[in-house]
Chains A and B, each alone.
Chain A
Amino acid sequence: MIAVQGLVKIYGTQRAVDGISFTVQRGEILGFLGPNGAGKSTTMKMITGFIRPDAGTATVGGIDVTADPVGVKRQLGYLPESAPAYPEMTVEEFLGFIAEVRGFRETVEKRARIEHVLTLTHLASVRAQTIETLSKGYKQRVGFAQALIHNPPALVLDEPTDGLDPNQKNEVRTLIKSMASEKAVILSTHILEEVDAICTRVIIIARGRIVADETPAALRARQPGARLDEIFRTLTADNASA
């Protein structure tokens, strides 16, 4: 569903993303791990067509993002980091706007879409509140609702559980898991336990390069008995000294 081939992004003299390749099939949840500044967000922004890669390609459902960015954007649900939304709009107005841009112009269909995601993300109680009055957890869910409104075949989620309390984290994970069977999902995270909890595959990147691409079980098997964060540290430190 999502295929990335030799993606490169250069900022000044820094190769923020340095030749990343991977593919994600439907039904897979790919966990994107790495220290801050490793290039996670940059890679996601290139897949979603927000920034242009300096080299390499990303395709979603067979469409090349550099050739037909709008075609890719149609198929993607994207939750940017920290879930930006228009603060002066109410949750309903905001989702209505997204629904219209996503092509649901007819009132009945638009309403149905909004109701569906409001239920899915448990936002019904705050539907008439402006987004600026919402707590971080609710804002995050608005971002989620926005990404799901058109039931996209591919989801790109940049730190979907960032800033949520443990209950909300669990809720979001359950939600992602429940949708995963028919979607290709990429999510980035700092939280290693999240990988164990929901991901079917893990990619660890450091300094813009992939240092591990395997199942969570295989990752564990690298150092039997060690905790995940120890393995993570070994992998990302190795790269730093190389």
Chain B
Amino acid sequence: MTQIRPLFKREFLGYFRSPVAYVFLISFLVISVSLAFSRYGNFFKSGTASLETYFLFFPWLFMFIVPAVGMRLWSEEKRAGTVELLFTLPITTLEAVLGKFLAGWAFLTLGILLSFPMALTVAYLGDPDWGVMAATYFGAILMAGAYLGVCALTSALTKNQVISFVLSLAACAVLVFLGLSSFTTTLESILPVGLADVVSNFSFVTHFDAFTKGIVDPKDVIFFLSLIGFTLFLNVVALER
């Protein structure tokens, strides 16, 4: 497992060796902040010293932005042929999967944490509940990991980055839409309520909502962590196939 470190380092710094990192971080922050200030976010109108309106859009934003980070993880290696180099080095598939995933996750975490001026703004304007804010950040980071797990998996399935992006987007979209009330109502009309409940339980939105209200429910934490674990397991299987 000590082999994860060099892999993590290469992958993480790799984002910064190309314009990818800067383009990503800047677009992410610009889009997320403008959404909060837009008429859909009502950052000021809401009149509360919280980042709820900022994080409101995260499940939607992640749907597009995490595939942009995750699509290259394996597709690029496969296309460039470096996957042959990587897997003839003394590392196991699991170590490679973990090293890459953790690097991508760390990068996303960096992006999320770089929204700290928003927190400072709120603190300047009012007296926010720091506990709620910490829970929200924690939830956002966990959710980013779950999105990334899905994207890393789809990236391992193809050497084409565009296909990888579209597949990730579709998979993430399903995981978001499952939790929308309009969608669950439709679902309840066809499926038994119990089953519809189970299905909507797989949504990112359902599990993220609690965090934005300051509730860190172990159920939600376990949901995201187990989704990460499951997708990484499939990732290993897909690569060893």
* A residues neighboring B (CB under 8 Å): 45, 48-50, 70-71, 73-74, 76, 78, 80, 82, 84-89, 97-98, 100-103, 105, 146
Contacts and interface: CB of A to CB of B under 8 A. Distances in A.
5 cross-chain pairs, A with B, having the tightest CB-CB distances, nearest first: A100-B6, A84-B81, A88-B17, A73-B90, A74-B90
A42 B87 CA distance: 15
Given A73-B89, A86-B10, A101-B3, A80 B18 contact: no
A28 B91 CA distance: 28
Nearest to A76: B88
18 contacts: A48-B88, A50-B87, A50-B88, A70-B91, A73-B89, A78-B85, A80-B88, A85-B85, A86-B10, A87-B80, A88-B14, A88-B17, A88-B18, A89-B14, A101-B7, A101-B90, A102-B89, A105-B6
Interface in B166-180: none
B104 to A, nearest CB: 16
A86 B82 contact: yes
Contacts of B88: 48-50, 73, 76, 78, 80
A102 B92 CA distance: 13
B58 to A, nearest CB: 29
B143 to A, nearest CB: 29
A89 B9 CA distance: 12
Contacts of B92: 70
A72 B84 CA distance: 15
Given A97-B10, A146-B85, A84 B91 contact: no
A78 B80 CA distance: 17
Nearest to A89: B17
Interface residues of B, number: 20
Nearest to A78: B88
Interface of B: 3, 5-7, 9-10, 14, 17-18, 80-82, 84-85, 87-92
Nearest to B18: A88
Contact of A101 (B14, B18, B84, B89): B89
Contacts of A98: 89
B82 A85 contact: yes
Given A70-B91, A84-B82, A101 B6 contact: yes
B80 A84 contact: yes
Given A50-B88, A73-B90, 19 more contacts: A49-B87, A49-B88, A70-B90, A73-B88, A78-B85, A80-B84, A80-B85, A80-B88, A86-B10, A86-B14, A86-B82, A88-B14, A88-B18, A97-B10, A100-B6, A101-B3, A101-B90, A102-B89, A105-B6
Contacts of B3: 101
A98 B7 CA distance: 10
A97 B81 contact: no
B95 to A, nearest CB: 9
A89 B91 CA distance: 20
A207 to B, nearest CB: 24
